[in-house]
Amino acid sequence: MNVNVKTKKQKIESASRRNLIAKGFALGGATALSASLPIWAQDNSSIKIGHLTPMTGFLGALGEYAAQGIKMAADEINASGGVLGRKLEIMSEDSVNPQVAATKAQRMIERDNVAFLLGEISSASALTISQVAGRNKKLFMSIGARSDVLRGKDCNRYTFHVDIPVTVMVNAVGQALVRDNLVKGKKIFSLTADYLFGHDLSKVAKKFWIDNGGNLIGDELVPTDAADFSPYLLKIRQAKPDLIASNLAGNQVTNFVKQYSEFGLPYPMVGFNLNTADAWAAGEDNLGGIWPTVWHHELQTPGSKAFVANFTKRYNRVPENHAWIEYISLRMLAQAINATKSTDTEKVITYFESQAEFDILKNRKAYFRSWDHQLMQEAYPFTVKAKGTYKEKWDFLKFGDAVPAPNQSLELLATNKAENTCKM
């Protein structure tokens, strides 16, 4: 009986194995074919760019905007003849988590032979990709990661940073908080996203509170996969603070803001990190406070207006700051390739380090600071409009004037050489 069963099983096994071999053969043939195709079709004409960004998880919603933004930039550049007569080919993938991000970056360099790496929103993944870039001596434009350590302690020669760092985010709204008398002598309770970015933000925020006479009575770490904040809200109520400060990230901010409004606690809330997509998701009735952003869709420059119109037409929704930042990042890279007439990492680095100026669709032009590779640019504080003063659901955010002001140095809010430990 037993033997019988075994032979039957074996039969099935061998049958399926035969099947497997056949399938494997077909699949292998197809891969070989598709692998040989690009060589024949490509004719050295496209410049391959590896693009990694989180498409899933608590930053996934932002990643979708990012992928759309860079795709649109590539299509526009290619439609107008490409760069050095060659087309840009964006290979966009979900970076998933820091380990997977590093593996994919390595694979893109080795197997896909990409000329540059671009992307990222998660500071933790940007860090691992930056290490891969450093080892392989390939340029990595870290577009949406904001942790200070990336352009500080962990900086490297091959990585350039486009988004505003944590210090700028804190400084951009910090003065407004001091002005509104929300800091001095106040009991402050903060919640921090439990990963690289959150820890970094918490450190800078803590320094800001203490420097300005605030009293930080609690700072709790929140796992990035937490969706229910009720136990934290109870802790906040028990602590009876004067002010709640959010050092959360991505979808966390949305959930926290919504549940905060649900519980109806009386303390004012501020925070240093909120992307417009997360603000939109929180909904108009739930949000309050003052927040910083790197760009917003109501910016009245001709470039921004055209970008918003084209993006909205193409994707049927208003672009969020991550769509914009990916769009201008690829254009900056294209400008560098055109100017140096080369896709060589070293030449592009030299160009960026020359503090060449870039039109990033804002009032003032931006440039990479040579010694920490941070893009120097304007930022904007935003608050929430009073109910009934707007029509569309995109329009409930109220954006303030650019900081630093037009007559001030773009480096005013950033770390200076004494504060920043970056050594390349």
Residues that bind other proteins (CB under 8 A): 55-57, 60-61, 63-65, 194, 220-223, 225-228, 230-232, 234-235, 237-238, 251, 254-255, 258-259, 261-265, 277-278, 280-286, 317, 320, 393
Q: What angle do CA 402, 180, 208 make, to 5 degrees?
A: 75
CB of 393 to other proteins, least distance (A): 8
Within 8 A by CB and 6+ apart from 212, the residues are 174, 177, 178, 183, 184
Comparison of 254 and 374: residue with beta carbon closer to other proteins: 254
Comparison of 278 and 372: residue with beta carbon closer to other proteins: 278
Within 8 A by CB and 6+ apart from 310, the residues are 72, 76
Comparison of 237 and 398: residue with beta carbon closer to other proteins: 237
Rounded CA separation 293/56 (Å): 22
- Mapping DSSP onto H, E and C, the string for 160-202 reads EECCCCHHHHHHHHHHHHHHCCCCCCCEEEEEEECCHHHHHHH
CB of 147 to other proteins, least distance (A): 18
Comparison of 70 and 376: residue with beta carbon closer to other proteins: 70
CA distances from 260 to 48, 170, 405 (A): 45, 22, 33
Comparison of 284 and 359: residue with beta carbon closer to other proteins: 284
Comparison of 207 and 393: residue with beta carbon closer to other proteins: 393
Rounded CA separation 308/306 (Å): 6
Within 8 A by CB and 6+ apart from 232, the residues are 191, 220, 222, 256
Rounded CA separation 173/196 (Å): 22
Cβ burial of 74 (10 Å; 0-12, 13-18, 19+) is buried
- Asked if 42 and 258 count as a contact pair (C-beta separation under 8 A), the reply is no
- Asked if 281 and 254 count as a contact pair (C-beta separation under 8 A), the reply is yes
Residue 305: DSSP 8-state: H
The DSSP string of 252-268 is HHHHHHHHHHHHT--S-
Comparison of 46 and 224: residue with beta carbon closer to other proteins: 224
CB of 19 to other proteins, least distance (A): 16
CB of 194 to other proteins, least distance (A): 5
Comparison of 25 and 263: residue with beta carbon closer to other proteins: 263
CB of 93 to other proteins, least distance (A): 15
